[in-house]
Amino acid sequence: MIQGRKILIGVGGGIAAYKVCEVVSTLAKAGAEVRVIMTDRAQQFIPALTLATLSRHPAYTDADFWQPHSRPLHIELGEWAEVFLLAPLTANTLGKLVYGLADNLLTNTVLASTCPVLVAPAMNTDMWEQQSVQRNWQQLQTDSRYHAIDPNAGILACDRVGKGRMAEPAEILSHLESLLWTGGKRDLQGKRILISAGGTREHLDPVRFIGNPSTGKMGIALAQAALHRGASVTLVHAPMESGLLAPLTNIRTVPIGSAAEMQQSLQQEMLQADWIVMAAAVADVRPAEYHSEKLPKRSLPDSLALAAVPDIVAELSQQKQPHQKLIGFAAQTGDILPPAMEKLQRKNLDVIAANPVDRPDSGFGSDRNQAVFLDRSGRKQILDPCSKLVMAHALYDFVNDCVIQTS
């Protein structure tokens, strides 16, 4: 989805400008056409040569703005871009955007463009918390062109601990990828989407458990895609690496461990949900007996007695209200379609995504996936290998079409 796409990046004057180098480099390596505009203050933090080298194209500055061109530079760049990133967004540029002011190449190009604009602010905590800045930040988001990534909290370059850190490159890149898919539409705005993710753990004792290889990456991609399309998102997740959860700004997370805990959380959360997306790999069985202290190796049983785990998806389908949509996943090996169609019908799902876990670069632990989408009316869509974020967007498109056909 990145290759060949036209991405314009405006860099403001802040220490967080160094993070933009990774964004530019990653996009260029992925085959995107990248153009960079730097304010005069941005050049105090990183030289234009750095971003020109990383983007494989000269970086534009205000000095270029006043040079003769066949067409005005801000018009040319504004019409060229498919998506526009402003990072770091300073308090100064934020105020200009809100009031439609244009006194440099960057702000003139914003006004001369019509593509979606992704803004990632960064500043000192006291600056960020000023009423005037917060008023401008909220006002900017009333304009549908602008897509916002709130700053994170942490230790700032000024040694202050608080909110104001610019979003990390991984979060910015995923949002850019979403905007290239959606064109900036927020077709899930007003929707409350509940997502399950990760592999549950059924413990024998405090250190041993029955589990599976699920990392939760698919569920995280589903949560990000839904958020980027305007939804309110709750993610109920099994244990996973903290680094995977770090980019989930503005997503409510509910950590759980076992299938029983997931069942309890989902039953509570689904009361407020419009769509429930079951991407978690939930255990089918658990040890029949749990030991509260670690068993010595010599005391481990030769055979392990197992007990069935409740079928969470089937139970949720019985509680589902007419306005709700229940979407399931079927991780399969071999011929994935027959078991997926059987699961779709037996568990009364609205849509199911059948994905192979026995193919290279697909399924558990991979950054990529592939699938076949099915709904109850017999519609089918085959999705070739792609990033999990792309798969999440394709699934939401499929569900939206399902909603339209049944409404």
Instruction: Show the beta-strand stretches assigned E in 315-397.
Output: 325-332, 351-356, 368-375, 380-387
Beta bridge partners of 210: 202
Out of 115, 158, 386, 402, pick the active-site residue: 158
Return d(Cα 32, Cα 35) in angstroms, integer: 10
CA atoms within 13 A on the CB side of 144: 9
DSSP symbols for 311-328: -HHHHHHHH--TT-EEEE
Whole-angstrom distance, CA of residue 319 vs CA of residue 145: 38
Radius of gyration of the chain (CA): 24
DSSP state of 109: H
Beta strands in 333-394 (DSSP E): 351-356, 368-375, 380-387
Answer yes or no: 386 catalytic.
no
Classified as helix, coil or strand, 48 is helix
Q: What string of DSSP letters covers 49-76?
A: HHHHHHHTSPPB-HHHHTS--SS-HHHH
Catalytic positions, written as ranges? 158
